[in-house]
Homo-oligomer: A and B are copies of this chain.
């Protein structure tokens, strides 16, 4: 009998989640039915979007069900299989989330190649939905053009570090990022190809952005919302475009935050703001895979991960992510 350790949501957080909103359970897994696969996870993803799914509100993905195991991206190896096309040892991606061992019908899993020198966790980050989010948001949603000045908030996060590097590789004229600590700010310019960076804790975002991008910005990739979005609206040149990917500054607010006071700039400067959810843009995955695979092999894109050990630490990893304790993609090593 195989036992699976799983993390379940048991209460909807008000404001910041706490450990009391979750429980850890042991589940005995039955024998595989025909056409099924059992996978031992190596890495499990924790992502900002999960906070939204903990609320019981209309959103792009349905809310998590109370009393059920948290779902989300994970990568592991096949441990047993009654399904064609899945051999023991194969690396597979799936969305079954916060558990050490999982099993389901074969359709729930996708076999992916192992790439020499690249850890499996990259499939949860720069080679997976995270990298695709950066790629699609920058190139398809915001329509990056050569020479554009690009501003990225949450730039040291998993998406942000990819955005900066993709912008540089695709011909941006200047790439500016904001983050929340001096260490992250240093990494942005030293490691991730940003031309300028600042900490939003050092002063008003608008003032620091004006210094970092004295000729204004053309593209804004928003992971943060709030004051950052207002600053971007103030800095935009005519025909500026914003890809709105997330608003982590708002996720744990219980009162609705006030919106930007300069919405009128959208009209007067012919600006475009577009929110997006990567699940609606998966048609770009093949082009992304080709580009990102080549960039990684050539060493033109680097990435960092913050790894937390143990499936029991998933909640801690998620809370650390919410607080910005990660650099690059936050993953749980099972």
A→B interface (CB under 8 Å): 52, 58-60, 225, 229-230, 238, 244-247, 250, 256-277, 280
The residue that A60 contacts in the complex, of B58, B260, B261, B269, with Cβ under 8 A, is B269
User: In the complex, which residues of chain B have a beta carbon less than 8 angstroms from the beta carbon of A263?
Assistant: 225, 229, 247, 257, 259-260
Contact A261 B270 (CB under 8 A): no
- Give Cα distance in the complex from A272 to B267, angstroms: 13
- Give Cα distance in the complex from A274 to B142, angstroms: 12
Write 5 A-B pairs (CB below 8 A) sorted by A numbering: A60-B238, A60-B268, A225-B263, A244-B267, A271-B274
User: In the complex, which residues of chain B have a beta carbon less than 8 angstroms from the beta carbon of A273?
Assistant: 266, 272-274
Contact A272 B270 (CB under 8 A): no
Among A52, A270, A277, chain B packs the most CB atoms within 10 A around the CB of: A270
Contact A259 B256 (CB under 8 A): no
User: In the complex, which residues of chain B have a beta carbon less than 8 angstroms from the beta carbon of A230?
Assistant: 259
Kindly provide the distance from the CB of A52 to the nearest chain B CB, expressed in whole angstroms: 6
Decide yes or no: A256 and B262 within 8 Å by CB, A270-B275, A275-B271, A275-B272 being known contacts.
yes
Contact A276 B270 (CB under 8 A): yes
- Give Cα distance in the complex from A276 to B267, angstroms: 6
- Give Cα distance in the complex from A267 to B159, angstroms: 15
- Give Cα distance in the complex from A229 to B263, angstroms: 10
User: In the complex, which residues of chain B have a beta carbon less than 8 angstroms from the beta carbon of A225?
Assistant: 263-264, 267
Contact B264 A268 (CB under 8 A): no
Since A246-B267, A268-B275, A271-B274 are in contact, a sample of 13 more A-B pairs with Cβ atoms closer than 8 Å, ordered by chain A residue number, is A58-B269, A59-B269, A60-B268, A225-B263, A225-B264, A225-B267, A247-B264, A250-B264, A256-B261, A265-B275, A270-B275, A272-B274, A272-B275
Contact B258 A258 (CB under 8 A): yes
Decide yes or no: A270 and B259 within 8 Å by CB, A225-B264, A264-B225, A264-B250 being known contacts.
no
